[in-house]
């Protein structure tokens, strides 16, 4: 868009599509994949790109036999098996699907080893059903495939760079769809825990969770709920607290004016989270609950390990709320910090010399 007005991250202006005749879709191959035209030239619009920054997409030499399907399809790009990334990276072209009246097939490049990530058994497929999209329309491109016409919707958002009203409307539609269902229980205050996840990388959340529970927050393990149940909870709560990351991204489904408390598990800022809160018109309250005693750890913003606990920042936040740690809590959190520090040190050795060794 040449004439967009940008106010913070919001971008105004009409979104467009690009239609390519006799185009071939290259399946995901590492960070490469996308659409090439009839002359085998990469179609730039198929990249997950903003300016010079490319998060996914690119051409590569194709040695496989190209399958031929003479029909029109809608290309929505790359599909990741990660809920937090899915919410931003894999939904940025859905605006067109929701307004298009023709039931064209919808094609994507799945990156996980499991094919058909948008099937009925996956949370991503459930999300598409909530939006009213028939799952039979989706096709996971696993081999080079040439179509009669490929429609490529423009990106409606890009992490930390911009988002549009069309992007925000996707999540408003999901929340509106689920909010009519009354079979689920709602809570005024919810705390999303990560402790029950199989790949939990945070040490020290137990003590934080106990404090929020004592303050009247309902502790929820989102991975144990259906997507519908989660969206219902997020769209009906008054206060929403969680560790920064995938769990906090679910603010997308909350109502405007919801109190959002984000517990920072590392010094790096999560650019997706900034956009998500701005989309909802929410100014979150950040609380630093991390310790980073060793240089080079966490290894990355996603890999961990993360050492968190009842820090001075959290204590100050509690004080401003008129809350105090009881003597029992002080002793408990103090002992937990010593134990977690030891486990964290061992984990750092494991991560560096075994799990992520070069």
Q: How confident is the model at residue 171 (pLDDT cuts 50, 70, 90)?
A: very high
Q: What's the gap between Cα 64 and its chain centre? A: 33
Q: What is the pLDDT of residues 270-318, one digit of tens each?
A: 878 888 888 888 899 999 999 999 999 998 888 889 999 999 999 999 9
Q: Taking residues 323-332, what's their average pLDDT?
A: 92
**Spatial contact of 313 and 287, defined as CB atoms under 8 Å apart:** yes
Q: How are beta strands 290-291 and 285-288 bridged, if at all?
A: unpaired
In DSSP notation, 278-340 reads: HHTT---EEEE-EE--STT-SSSTTT--EEE---HHHHHHHHHTT----HHHHHHHHHHHHHH
Q: How are beta strands 259-264 and 239-243 bridged, if at all?
A: parallel
Short-list 264, 323, 267, CA closest to 289? 264
The single residue listed with the structure tokens 């509106």 is 176
Q: Taking residues 113-136, what's their average pLDDT?
A: 87
pLDDT of 264 strictly over 90: yes
For the chain, domain boundaries: 5-162+170-176, 189-353
pTM strictly above 0.85: yes
Is the domain spanning 189-353 CATH 3.40.1560? The answer is no
**Spatial contact of 193 and 248, defined as CB atoms under 8 Å apart:** no
Pure H helices in the chain: 83-89, 94-99, 123-130, 165-179, 205-214, 227-236, 246-249, 271-279, 312-320, 327-350
pLDDT value of residue 358? 54
Short-list 190, 180, 211, CA closest to 326? 211
CA dist 3 to 6, 120, 130, 168, 236, Å? 10, 40, 34, 20, 37
Short-list 78, 66, 64, CA closest to 33? 78
Please provide the average confidence, as pLDDT, over all residues in the chain.
Answer: 90
Q: Taking residues 341-345, what's their average pLDDT?
A: 94
pLDDT value of residue 5? 42
Quote the CA–CA distance of 336 and 343 in Å, as a whole number.
Answer: 10
Q: How confident is the model at residue 113 (pLDDT cuts 50, 70, 90)?
A: low
**Spatial contact of 290 and 306, defined as CB atoms under 8 Å apart:** yes
In the chain, pLDDT over 70 holds for what percent of residues?
Answer: 96
Short-list 174, 163, 287, 284, CA closest to 234? 174
Largest CA distance in the chain: 73
**Spatial contact of 194 and 166, defined as CB atoms under 8 Å apart:** no
Q: What's the gap between Cα 132 and its chain centre? A: 20
**Which three-class secondary structure state does DSSP give residue 126?**
helix
- 123-130 and 165-179 helices, crossing angle to 10°: 90
């Amino acid at each position: 868009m040449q004439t967009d007005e940008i106010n913070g991250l919001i971008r105004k202006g009409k979104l467009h599509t690009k239609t390519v005749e006799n185009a071939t879709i290259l399946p995901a191959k590492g960070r490469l994949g996308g659409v090439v035209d009839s002359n085998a030239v990469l179609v730039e619009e198929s990249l997950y790109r903003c300016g010079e920054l490319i998060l996914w997409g690119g051409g590569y030499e194709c040695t496989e036999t190209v399958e031929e399907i003479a029909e029109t399809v809608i290309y929505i790009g790359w599909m990741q098996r990660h809920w937090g990334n899915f919410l931003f990276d894999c939904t940025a072209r859905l605006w067109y699907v929701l307004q298009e009246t023709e039931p064209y097939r919808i094609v994507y490049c799945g990156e996980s080893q499991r094919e058909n990530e948008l099937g009925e058994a996956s949370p991503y497929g459930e999300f598409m059903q909530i939006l009213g999209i028939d799952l039979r329309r989706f096709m996971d491109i696993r081999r080079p495939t040439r179509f009669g016409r490929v429609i490529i919707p423009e990106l409606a958002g890009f992490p930390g760079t911009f988002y549009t009203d069309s992007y925000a409307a996707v999540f408003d539609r999901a929340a509106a769809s689920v909010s009519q269902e009354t079979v689920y229980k709602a809570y005024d205050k919810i705390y999303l825990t990560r402790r029950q996840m199989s790949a939990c990388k945070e040490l020290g959340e137990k003590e934080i969770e106990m404090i929020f529970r004592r303050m009247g927050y309902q502790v929820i393990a989102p991975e144990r709920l259906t997507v519908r149940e989660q969206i219902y909870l997020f769209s009906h709560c008054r206060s929403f607290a969680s560790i920064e990351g995938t769990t906090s991204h679910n603010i997308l489904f909350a109502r405007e004016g919801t109190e959002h408390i984000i517990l920072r598990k590392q010094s790096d800022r999560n650019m997706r989270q900034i956009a998500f809160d701005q989309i909802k018109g929410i100014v979150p309250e950040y609380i630093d609950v991390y310790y980073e005693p060793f240089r080079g750890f966490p290894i990355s913003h996603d890999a961990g390990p993360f050492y968190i606990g009842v820090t001075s920042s959290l204590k100050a936040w509690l004080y401003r709320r008129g809350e105090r740690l009881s003597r029992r809590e002080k002793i408990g959190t103090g002992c937990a910090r010593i134990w977690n520090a030891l486990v964290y040190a061992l984990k750092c050795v494991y991560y560096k010399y075994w799990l992520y060794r070069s």
